[in-house]
Structure 1
């Protein structure tokens, strides 16, 4: 599902104008980005949390040059679903087997 699909579904359920719905969705996403870039997590009860995760400095490999590189410590944005959301997905979405051949490509 894309952002356009979400906007279309909201319009069909609420009867609101496309431009208004699009503005609300865009503003919502912008506020989440602003909060995370200023170091503040966003908590949406019953849905999940947009959080900042810290990644420690680590040693990696530059495969084509066959050399080690240092990946510096950094923060990344992440989403942590609520317990009720996680349980809903576990209960309703069928498990897909991962093809080991595609993982190695």
Structure 2
């Protein structure tokens, strides 16, 4: 399912217009992005938690030359599924 499919599905089930659903979805994604960029968590009980995690620096290899390179430490977004979501997927 892509974003358009999600918008169509929500609009069909909720009775809202596609334009309204798209606006809400875009705002939701923007708020999650803003919170994660500040280092905050977004926790939706039963669904899951959006958070950031630090990935330590490590050594890697350039696949073309085989030369070792250092991959720097970075912060990445992560999602941890909640219990209700886990149960629904089983």
Aligned-residue offset at 1:84: 2.8
CA RMSD, 1 decimal? 0.9
| Structure with more relative contact order (C-alpha pairs < 8 Å, separation 6 or more) | 2
Structure 1 unaligned runs (5+)?
Answer: 91-105
Question: 1:98 is matched with which residue?
Answer: none
Show the 5 A alignment for 1:26-105.
Answer: 26-90=26-90
Aligned-residue offset at 1:19: 1.2
Q: Normalised by the size of structure 2, how large is the TM-score?
A: 0.94
Deviations 1:19-42 (A, max 9, x none): 111100000001000100111111
Query: How many pairs does the alignment contain?
Result: 90
Deviating beyond 3 angstroms after TM superposition, the runs of 4 or more aligned structure 1 residues are none
Aligned-residue offset at 1:65: 1.1
Structure 2 unaligned runs (5+)?
Answer: none
